[in-house]
Amino acid sequence: MLTTPLAFAFVLGVLVFVHELGHFLLARWHGVRVLTFSLGFGPKLLSFKRGDTEYCLSAIPLGGYVKMAGENPEDNPQGASDEFMSKSKWQRFQILFAGPAMNMILAVLLLAVVLMQGDRVLAFLSRPAVIGVVQAESAAAAAGLQAGDEVVRINGRGISTWEELDMQVTSKPGMDVEFTLRRDGNERTVTVRPATAKVQMPADSSFEVGTIGVLPNVYPLIDAVNPGEPAEKAGLQRGDEIRSIEGTRVVYTRNVSDVLKSRAGQPTTIVIRRNGTDQTFTVVPEQRGDVAMIGVTLTNETVSYQPGPIEAVGLSVKRNVQNAGLILRTLGELFTGRASPKQLMGPVGIAQLSGATARQGWVELFALMASISLNLGLLNLLPIPVLDGGHMAIMGMEAVARRDFSLAVKEKMLFAGFVLLMALMVTVIYNDLTRFAWIERLLPWRN
């Protein structure tokens, strides 16, 4: 598969091309003369001209642009009918909106292709966020969360599934978070501060996520029993649900291995649920290399799906709408201080993720591209001058005021947007660099 630089170039190149293609097509649709269509910024590496438009590949591969005739006052617009500013506000709005819209359409199409491949996902992710285990000395334990609690809101926003709980917690490392719990039919609100955990990434770098130390209310299932092995001798069967081992509640299949690894040659009590009834068995694990095994294949309950093309598009639209809502809520929480800016990722982080997912396969790479494309489309719609959304916001204010703002006012707005955008870029680049362990060690305030 692709190396990290090639994967990054492919991902960013496709997303930028699609974005700028949206502007280009709508500009041509409305009769606007396009002077330049560029992938990248800065010095031009390759270029050719067809009609009025120069198509080029430029040296800095962190974006692109479509330059239209009469787009900026410094271009000395002549008032010709094929200039951008000669078009109505509604036509200009459509041209600006087309870029982000194309990114969101691409996100839907890419995710639909991914969904059509089918998958098996853990069943508990789509179920209510009921806590099965609270780990000792965790943030959840310190806040008083208990097994059986259902998380119904976080920071006042409804939580309907375990997946939503996980996404909300991971985005808030080291920040106070209000959890509304349902316990014994009553609701209560507690404050939890997720601990900071580091997820390893390529090139000795890491990504910080929040964790509170809770596990879902699920149990591992025995999917197969090997003939002649300790499990079969003890009477365990396919379909048994393992409730506990030596009194320790187990949740994931890996928990079973963790408990058994020190039990080789020792009679071990295993409680299973079969046909709705709990039963107790004694198994003697056997040492196999560095691990102790009882001769079973384990799984957690999963749900499989493989939608057809139409169903996949519908499911993709639904998921992208849900993800868009999460992105917008997270952006709002960043401005209000309820989410950590450490979660923001810049070019270096995207390059690392692109390389890592490309090595896993094209399905994973397309899923990542869909996510980034959706983020790119939404971010470009933010009412920040310099971005497409900022230009649309200025036109909207002009429409409400029923007059065009002066060039001086627009320049001040654009400068403010530029400063804000540069602050954002500094933040994401700082985040990217401090994810490398060797750089973080050079920064005393990070240690």
Q: What is the pLDDT of residue 24?
A: 97
Contacts of residue 309, defined as CB under 8 A and 6 or more positions apart, other chains included, come to 112, 116
Q: What is the pLDDT of residue 336?
A: 74
What pLDDT digit, counting tens, does each position of 353-390 carry? 676 676 778 888 898 899 999 999 998 998 888 889 98
Distance, CA of 312 to CA of 115 (rounded, Å):
6
Q: What is the pLDDT of residue 439?
A: 55
Q: What is the pLDDT of residue 334?
A: 73
3-state secondary structure the chain: CCCHHHHHHHHHHHHHHHHHHHHHHHHHHCCCCEEEEEEEEEEEEEEEEECCEEEEEEEEEEEEEEEECCCCHHHCCCCCCCCHHHCCHHHHHHHHHHHHHHHHHHHHHHHHHHHHCCEEEEHHHHCCCEEEEECCCCHHHHHCCCCCCEEEEECCEECCCHHHHHHHHHCCCCCCEEEEEEECCEEEEEEECCEEEEEEECCCEEEEEEECCEEECCCCEEEEECCCCHHHHHCCCCCCEEEEECCEECCCHHHHHHHHCCCCCCCEEEEEEECCEEEEEEECCEEECCEEECCEEEECCEEEECCCHHHHHHHHHHHHHHHHHHHHHHHHHHHHCCCCHHHCCCHHHHHHHHHHHHHHCHHHHHHHHHHHHHHHHHHHCCCCCCCHHHHHHHHHHHHHHCCCCCHHHHHHHHHHHHHHHHHHHHHHHHHHHHCEHHHHCCCHHHC
What are the distances in angstroms from CA 288 to CA 291, 294, 427? 5, 10, 49
Decide whether 119-216 matches 221-300 in CATH topology.
Answer: yes
What end-to-end distance do the CA atoms of the chain give, in Å? Answer: 36
Digit-by-digit pLDDT tens for the chain (447 residues) are 456 678 888 888 999 999 999 999 999 999 999 999 999 988 999 999 999 999 999 988 878 999 999 887 666 778 899 999 899 999 999 999 999 999 999 999 999 999 999 888 889 999 999 999 999 999 999 999 999 999 999 998 899 999 999 988 988 888 899 999 999 999 999 999 999 887 766 555 567 788 999 999 999 999 999 999 999 999 999 999 999 999 999 999 989 998 998 898 999 999 999 999 999 999 999 988 888 899 999 999 888 888 999 999 999 999 999 888 878 887 777 777 776 676 666 666 666 667 667 677 888 889 889 999 999 999 899 888 888 998 898 888 888 888 888 878 877 887 887 787 777 777 766 666 666 555 556 556 555
Contacts of residue 319, defined as CB under 8 A and 6 or more positions apart, other chains included, come to 111
Are the beta carbons of 288 and 257 closer than 8 angstroms?
no
CATH code for the part of the protein at 221-300: 2.30.42.10
Are the beta carbons of 299 and 256 closer than 8 angstroms?
no
Are the beta carbons of 177 and 190 closer than 8 angstroms?
no
CATH code for the part of the protein at 119-216: 2.30.42.10
**Residue (of 115, 29, 108) closest to 304 by Cα position:** 115
**Sequence spans of domains, the chain:** 4-30+87-117+368-446, 119-216, 221-300
Distance, CA of 362 to CA of 117 (rounded, Å):
11
Distance, CA of 206 to CA of 197 (rounded, Å):
9
Q: What is the pLDDT of residue 321?
A: 92
Distance, CA of 181 to CA of 175 (rounded, Å):
18
**Residue (of 357, 361, 326, 335) closest to 171 by Cα position:** 326
Q: What is the pLDDT of residue 408?
A: 81
